[in-house]
A and B are shown apart, each in its own frame.
Chain A
């Protein structure tokens, strides 16, 4: 194993399922991405995009049809299951725990499967419980915990295995805002302090935006975007414009805009019409001005629309769907 190797390399990963009618469905279709050591990667995508299938293929819980997976420079398929000493995962949140056992019993059990059972390891488990505010619930049976606490306990069980790579599939599913914020803050702290590599799959854009440095967006089994979160945001921030018109929109403006700028919307308000449009090229703004001028529209104000990852994500996924 090379110390400078990527934590995870996925090349041309493909997984095909057959539905009941025998028709092949490409759940994962030639997926490629890399995760560097110490990186926190977000895996985004709508339901059925192939996120969980990709994670399960990487962890050997599903058999891919083709492709190559390497963990820390080592071929995962040939080194399975020994390679799992380097990876742990939260796959189904609270369902990953024995509900009749206490938090501590769960943590020590799952950690021991990875050989983490020394007194020093136990000290670390105690620290994790403290970080996740579960110290008081250490000896409480999991079934008696709230959903949020169960979820946090399952994350603690994955982290307690002390692997350099951790997959968190929907770690904040079913959590209230406060608990989600708490979890995000702890994950950021652990990523910073311990230098572990995290792959976080979530529908919660705030989690990804807050915790991850880079994001891979999947749609219909394929990677459609692989970029730094900050770069993606700046890219979309410059594209999204909001134009306020003085008075209502002239007849035919909506149709004209729809024809020239895909996805443009016009909403009528008391103060005047408002246009929302994404401009993909630098001179698009001039074209838009020309259109408005030709239709005798009076511009009241122009502003760049504030974007968040959710808007970016929705736009990418919609574009991708329209394309396919």
Chain B
């Protein structure tokens, strides 16, 4: 099947690129780890000053939040940043010549990005847990589906920003703003009204339940899981719709290969 060929080709390309840009891949993970260290040391100082024992819960939540945030940043930035980069280097139009359609090439890229970012981010998680001494439950059977559900919203944002990049080109500043917005979405408590309908929030809450409280996927409230799936799917659909609209505008104005 041709889609299988496309998926295999995208995997090979991304693996090759990851090897060729190994220093960049490692240093970006290192910088994320260093940001986490700063937050961790900040939390420690606050707890010493306030002589509070309440840090335990927030530290575990911080690890989970940071872990989900890293995955989300990888998911959304790989999609939107790669699109900008491909337009800049000139390969985007060639991807648009794929008979399966660019959206499927994009979908294969998302799958490949998830697979290739999984191991490094899991290593980052191990490093965070080792640094803090807080060992969370890593139940992959529960964790992977929940991550995929949570990342739906992140991909939706990625598609929307990728579409905007096709039309407006230089929107890197917006990428950076979105990274901070994601932090806000991850720290917002789920009991705050409408929070559960925002991207990432419900997924992050469920992942915290799994990793901190040890609740397995099938023990989670089905309504909460359904909300996470529905919210993620809705944001993904909106993101794809924005991308399609921007793609049409770019094709009308002849901007697809421009940068």
Which residues of A come within 8 Å of B, CB atoms? 15, 17, 27, 53, 56, 59-63, 81-85, 87-89, 91-92, 95-101, 105, 108-110, 112-115, 117, 141, 157, 161
Contacts and interface: CB of A to CB of B under 8 A. Distances in A.
Nearest to A111: B9
Interface in B206-247: none
Nearest to A17: B254
A108 B251 CA distance: 27
Contacts of B73: none
Contact of B99 (A53, A110, A115): A115
B93 A92 contact: yes
A89 B99 CA distance: 13
B99 A63 contact: no
B105 to A, nearest CB: 7
B257 A91 contact: yes
Interface in B72-128: 89-91, 93-102, 105
A88 B95 CA distance: 11
A100 B13 CA distance: 10
Contacts of A113: 5-6, 9, 94-95, 97-100, 105
Given A91-B94, A108-B12, 8 more contacts: A56-B254, A62-B256, A91-B90, A92-B93, A97-B90, A108-B9, A114-B2, A114-B99
B21 interface: yes
A82 B98 CA distance: 8
B13 A109 contact: yes
A17 B256 CA distance: 14
A100 B95 contact: no
A97 B93 contact: no
Nearest to A80: B101
A56 B94 CA distance: 11
A88 B89 CA distance: 19
A95 B2 CA distance: 25
A59 B97 contact: yes
Contacts of A97: 90-91
Nearest to B97: A84
B20 interface: yes
B252 A110 contact: no
Contacts of A157: 94
Interface residues of B, number: 32
Given A95-B89, A110-B94, A112-B6, A62 B13 contact: no
B97 A87 contact: yes
Question: Which of A62, A83, A141 has its CB near the most chain B CB atoms (within 10 A)?
Answer: A62
A98 B99 contact: no
Closest 8 CB pairs of A and B: A95-B90, A112-B9, A115-B2, A85-B99, A113-B98, A81-B101, A63-B251, A84-B99
A101 B254 contact: no
A92 B257 contact: yes
Contact of A63 (B21, B98, B105, B248): B248
Contacts of B46: none
Contacts of B13: 98, 101, 105, 109
Contacts of B257: 56, 61, 91-92
B58 interface: no
A295 to B, nearest CB: 54
Contacts of B102: 81
Nearest to B12: A109
B8 interface: yes
B16 interface: yes
Nearest to A63: B251
A61 B91 CA distance: 13
Interface string B9-39: 1001100110011000000000000000000
A63 B249 CA distance: 9
B99 A82 contact: yes
B191 interface: no
Given A17-B254, A61-B257, A85-B99, A115 B20 contact: no
B97 A92 contact: no
Nearest to B98: A113
B254 A62 contact: yes
Contact of A61 (B12, B98, B251): B251
B99 A112 contact: no
24 contacts: A17-B254, A27-B254, A60-B96, A61-B93, A61-B257, A63-B252, A81-B98, A81-B99, A82-B99, A85-B99, A91-B90, A98-B17, A99-B89, A100-B17, A100-B20, A101-B13, A101-B16, A108-B12, A109-B12, A112-B6, A112-B9, A113-B94, A113-B97, A117-B5
